[in-house]
Amino acid sequence: MSLRSVFVFCCAPFAFVIGGGTAMAQDESAASLSQLLGNIETFQADVRQLIVESTGGVLEQSEILFKLKRPNGFYWETIEPYPELIVTDGERLWNYQPDLLQVTVEAWEPERSELAAQLLSGRVDEIEADYFITGGDVGNGNAFEFILEPVDPASLYERVTLYFRGQTLNSIHVDNGNGQRTFWEFFNHEINEPIEDSVFVFEVPDDIELIDNRAAN
């Protein structure tokens, strides 16, 4: 499953009103979240993705390798069950599907970037424009929980919950309007370890079909 499709949900409208007092809470929660994410320059982890139906049954489980390097390096490789790679260097976005023997490339558009990319790139100010952020320290500095609820009633997501263990992102949970949920759990974290820029550039093998969509963007 691609990074784009991971975040595409059929969500029922969800609206709320932000008053003066809650706006202050929003500012405090956003500041706390920004502080947790602000020191990350590089981030690497193994990811377990679960898509769960409303009855609790697991629709899909995936094993993923994730790498991030600020400001624009983003690498998301699904290992199992369906191999796929999405990677960007901040200018180009590649989507490599080895089973189809093809890769598509398009211009990277930051305004279309997925929520996970925004979060882990530390662009909390951009997230604030789209989400009402609540939460903070729930464990005397050892655990943090943040809830993001969309400002736009037509949003694709009903709720996004972030869990931190200590200062490290532990999991992201996404709820949508039909009861389906997606979970990302992060393991084997490596924070601020060197990552070469070449990791975020896809070299197209000779036997792979290249579909270049940059002219169409």
CA separation for the pair 67, 45 (Å, rounded)? 7
Give, as one character, the DSSP assignment of residue 72: T
pTM above 0.75, yes or no: yes
Per cent of the chain over pLDDT 90 is: 41
End-to-end Cα spacing for the chain? 23
The CATH number of the domain covering residues in 3-216: 2.50.20.10
CA 115 to chain centre: 5
pLDDT digit string (tens) for the chain, length 217 residues: 334 433 332 221 112 222 334 454 667 888 888 888 878 889 999 999 999 988 888 989 999 999 989 888 889 999 999 999 999 998 999 999 999 999 999 988 766 555 656 665 666 667 777 888 899 888 888 899 999 988 887 777 788 899 999 888 899 998 876 788 989 999 999 999 999 999 999 999 989 999 999 876 5
Hey, what are 209's tokens?
């079909």
Give the phi and the psi of residue 216 in degrees, each rounded to 5. -85, -15
CA separation for the pair 134, 128 (Å, rounded)? 11
Helix or strand or coil: residue 165? strand
What pLDDT digit, counting tens, does each position of 154-183 carry? 777 788 899 999 888 899 998 876 788 989
How many residues make up the chain in this entry?
217
Question: Does the CA dihedral 68-72-77-82 come out positive or negative?
Answer: positive
42 vs 1, 69, 75, 192, CA distance in Å?
24, 4, 11, 4
